[in-house]
Structure 1
């Protein structure tokens, strides 16, 4: 393991734990090594939530507790409990890449604190506040080839951007796109209370996550336009949280630039799925959302739901596991990027 990429995770919540589990369920566990986790929670709770997960099941390997460390399948992972970047000796740990999953940081000045504290590079599990707050925002399969030695701070975009951009890219290349409206039906998140309770800024998110469908704000339109700038000003989006634990969907309404049939759209996307295995999937089976829990694809196109209204007005339904699919794309980006900067 001496030549392995040394990875640390900062913030060991849903995505942090899924990233660790995805690595240990992947052949990449032999080339990427998690050496450190920084999470304010106590070690016993960290170990327990690593072993048992209400969504993804029991960890398939062995997890033990050592002296200030987790022992995962016999490998020690040091655990610290700092609340700010400067309180961890990242340089002493010898971190090649930090997976920043706390969700607490969105601006370059905050990301720079990790670099100054000894982290050579950061891969962030959310978009930066603006494109300028990071060196590159990546959707794997679209622009990961731009990763190189010069970047220090890279965003893995959002789970919804990873799901919809590959599909819109295919549609735009084949038919052209006039306008797009996206409605995300997203599973609940941990910024919502189980029963009505206070929220720091959004009155709708004071309401019980498990009793209502709740509209929330979304930056998906801006995320799409970062990757498809030719659609700038022509993308609108809204998001509704729905009371399920995992798996989300995007209802896509798109005005095409030329005439197309539902069959032509489905053929295009099924061929894209065959050309990009592991990223895009395609199905016409009568699905429910639970079918895609623990699915590693960025997006699954539900061809049974493709509709055309008039020659150029199309409606599609896209599924994605907003936790597992996203964590696997972070793993892909970490692996690809490491080959460019090492």
Structure 2
């Protein structure tokens, strides 16, 4: 991480949303020590320079959001890691897996994507519904908590005009790739789902609503 280790320790210990961390957090020799366990801290912009081989790393969780292709994430492999998991949807054809949905099809790939938070919420729901009743088509709506990319007050947005509105004052319609991503982890649903998101002024907790037209008859019971 490019942040100073002391600042990282402070941010971990005191969180505005989740409260105070009840364990111990300190910095020793430039590294984080959490509950007595030392966590190596580096400040490299290029993953190829991280020297994962020196600490015998098996799996790297790529959570920066900056290296979301096989080519860029593979720099972790070059640095000595054995596997890489992207914590968001990839920007290329990197295989995507959602636990409880298609994780059984994992075939040992070096680099995989764990999809987005919305896809991890939506895909298991869609799988259960499709397995039991068969989905003809479906519409997803997610009510999503504010994210760090939004504006604190009204300002220009490079993506769309609505996205420039103040996060704490508005319910903002937004696009989402979650419905399309479901088609990647459940191929038989490819093209059957669409959806949209609403960014709402809450710091935490989101929800997904799925409305579907199904093949088999169903009752509320």
Q: What's the TM-score once normalised by structure 1's chain length? A: 0.62
Equivalents in 2 of 1:116, 1:200: separation in Å?
Answer: 34
Q: Deviations over 1:37-77 (max 9, x none)?
A: xx111111100111111222221211111111011111111
Q: Deviations over 1:9-30 (max 9, x none)?
A: xxxxxxxxxxxxxxxxxxxxxx
Match of 1:77 among 39, 61, 65: 39
Equivalents in 2 of 1:233, 1:151: separation in Å?
Answer: 26
Q: Give the alignment of 1:241-320 within 5 angstroms.
A: 241-263=199-221
Q: Deviations over 1:56-100 (max 9, x none)?
A: 222121111111101111111111112221332222232111111
How far is 1:205 from its partner?
2.2
**Mapped pair 1:144 → 2:106:** no
Q: Deviations over 1:105-145 (max 9, x none)?
A: 22211112222222221111101123x2x2x3111112222
Match of 2:2 among 30, 33, 40: 40
**Mapped pair 1:57 → 2:19:** yes
> Secondary structure of 2:176's partner?
coil
Counterpart in 2 of 1:336? Answer: none
Equivalents in 2 of 1:75, 1:171: separation in Å?
Answer: 43
Counterpart in 1 of 2:59? Answer: 97
Counterpart in 1 of 2:123? Answer: 165
How far is 1:255 from its partner?
0.5
Match of 1:178 among 130, 136, 154: 136
**Mapped pair 1:193 → 2:193:** no
**Mapped pair 1:109 → 2:71:** yes
Query: Residues 62 and 216 from structure 1, CA distance in 2 versus in 1: closer, same or farther, beyond 3 angstroms?
Result: same
Query: Residues 252 and 109 from structure 1, CA distance in 2 versus in 1: closer, same or farther, beyond 3 angstroms?
Result: same
Equivalents in 1 of 2:23, 2:176: separation in Å?
Answer: 36
How far is 1:200 from its partner?
4.0
Query: Residues 197 and 105 from structure 1, CA distance in 2 versus in 1: closer, same or farther, beyond 3 angstroms?
Result: farther
Counterpart in 1 of 2:198? Answer: 240
Equivalents in 2 of 1:166, 1:86: separation in Å?
Answer: 35
Counterpart in 2 of 1:329? Answer: none
Equivalents in 2 of 1:84, 1:203: separation in Å?
Answer: 33
Q: Deviations over 1:191-234 (max 9, x none)?
A: 11211234443332222111111122211121111122222222
Q: Deviations over 1:159-191 (max 9, x none)?
A: 111111111111111111111000111001111
Pick which of 231-240 and 194-203 moved more.
Answer: 194-203
Uncovered stretches (5+) of structure 2, i.e. residues with no partner: none
Uncovered stretches (5+) of structure 1, i.e. residues with no partner: 1-38, 264-342
Q: What's the TM-score once normalised by structure 2's chain length? A: 0.93
Equivalents in 1 of 2:8, 2:145: separation in Å?
Answer: 23
Q: Is the 8 A contact 2:23 2:34 kept in 1?
A: yes
**Mapped pair 1:86 → 2:45:** no
Q: Deviations over 1:266-286 (max 9, x none)?
A: xxxxxxxxxxxxxxxxxxxxx
> Secondary structure of 1:173's partner?
helix
State the number of aligned residues.
Answer: 221
